[in-house]
Amino acid sequence: MVSSLFNKTLAQSNATPLCFSISSTPFRHNHTITSAYFSAVFSSLGLSSNLFALVVLAKTFHHTKSRSRSSFLLFLGGLVFTDFMGLLVTGSIVVSFHITHFNWRQLDPHCHFCNFMGMSMVFYGLCPLLLGTTMAVERFIGINRPFARSTAITNSRACLTVAMVWVTAGCISLLPLVGLGSYHLQVPGSWCFLNISSRPLDMAFGLIFSLVGLLSLAVSFLLNTVSVVTLLKVCCGQDSAQRRRDYEVEMMVQLILIMTIASVCWCPLLVFIAQTVLSGSELDVHHLLLWIRFATGNQVLDPWVYILFRRAILKRIAPRMDWSRGSIISLYPTISTSFRKLTRASLGGTTDHLDRVRPNPSKARQEDTPLPVLDATAMSSSI
């Protein structure tokens, strides 16, 4: 009786945790100084780039007066902040491994640390893709349905939307903790990621991760294509010199570049996971490492889109373009005219009511007379 209990306890103590079940730690990996330097330099470059972009975004947001641009800057700020935190969390673990060469089984016998890193990899991987889709939806509505956008998307709703994206990505990353899929230690032993295997639950989670990412990229490509075509039709039509608006061009250039970078960095990994899961073939570790490094590069390149393609830089690239200030609503003359008529009609009744209430209507009308508006081109040149 005592011996059977002892053997059962010994078997439980020697049981391999789930996150190490496909691993033979410690891996036979040659810990070179190059690996530590590369990881440290890569993480430092990404963190400094995202931090600089956050500072520039904060200053721009503080001075902007355009509602559409301010909400776009909030989405962009959420993207840059997410990339910064992703590099800070995952990069610190990888750099620590290359410097200290710690043993995962001794450090994390119950897989809590490995699950945390796996969740971080999935969360900070899906967030940029989902935020890119959200920004594409915002620009699609802003360019094709400007009046609907002006009433539906405010700064508070933009912040709420970013929070909802984070919650969605967080819920997906938590699925392995409730039994759908699992996180495993990956070669060379410096990181944890979702287990790509032929087990049904692992296959389901791998497909969810890859299909959500691919669907986000597809929706972004479709909406951005329609938005660019619409913007080109309006800006390059008749009287195009009077219809160009810098903010719409700036935001679309940045959004197209963000989508392109995300597609180049993430499509190989997402397609690789989906193809491996659906084909049931053995996991190619070398390709997994290659594509995961491609995907990590997205967090480093995203902030440079805003740093290098701001309005001031674009004006230097295309100095002959009429960089007048204005809203996309002014690009549609008929809609703008109707809007002014509707505004005058609605204000007319209000004005008549105020004339009956005010003791001196004629004096009040003189006080309410708007100040003369400076020409947009003159303002732009002065600024």
State the pLDDT at residue 28.
Answer: 55
pLDDT band with cut points at 50, 70 and 90 for residue 314: low
Q: What is the CATH number of the domain that holds 293?
A: 1.20.1070.10
In a domain, 379, yes or no: no
Residues 41-62, mean pLDDT to the nearest whole number: 91
Evaluate whether residue 368 is within a structural domain.
no
With the C-alpha atoms ordered 284, 286, 289, 292, is the resulting torsion angle positive or negative? negative
- At position 257, the amino acid (one-letter code) is L
Give the bridge partners for 183, in sequence order. 194
In this predicted structure, what is the pLDDT of residue 154?
79
Tally of residues, the chain: 383
State whether residue 268 is helix, strand or coil.
helix
Q: Is residue 95 part of a domain?
A: yes
> What is the predicted pLDDT for the residue at 12?
42
Sequence-distant (≥ 6) Cβ neighbours of residue 152 within 8 angstroms: 141
Nearest to 133 by CA among 103, 105, 161: 161
Domain that includes residue 223, residue range: 33-319
Indicate the burial class of 174 (C-beta count within 10 angstroms; 0-12, 13-18, 19 or more): middle
CA distance 128 to 50: 13
Assigned domain for 340 exists = no
What is the pLDDT confidence band of residue 373, given thresholds at 50, 70 and 90?
very low
Position 233 in a domain: yes
Tens digits of per-residue pLDDT, 127-180?
999 999 999 998 888 888 776 555 567 788 889 999 999 999 999 999 999 999
Cβ(259)–Cβ(225) under 8 Å?
no
Quote the pLDDT of residue 245.
60
How far apart CA 116 and CA 161 sit, in angstroms, is 25
Report yes or no on 355 lying in a domain.
no
DSSP single-letter state for residue 328? G
In a domain, 11, yes or no: no
pLDDT at 257: 92
Whole-structure pTM value: 0.75
* Neighbour-count burial of 341, counting CB atoms closer than 10 A to its CB (0-12 exposed, 13-18 middle, 19+ buried): exposed
Instruction: Count structural domains, the chain.
Output: 1
214 C-beta neighbours (distance < 10 Å), count: 18
Would you say residue 362 lies in a domain? no
CA 51, CA 220: separation in Å to the nearest integer?
A: 26
- Rounded mean pLDDT of 281-287? 87
How many other CB atoms are there within 10 angstroms of residue 362's CB atom?
8
Q: What is the mean pLDDT of the chain?
A: 76
Looking at residue 222, its pLDDT comes to: 95
**Dist CA 179 CA 177 (whole Å):** 6
Vertex 113: Cα angle to 182 and 102 (nearest 5)? 120
Residue 186, beta-bridge partner list: 191
Strand, coil or helix: 194: strand
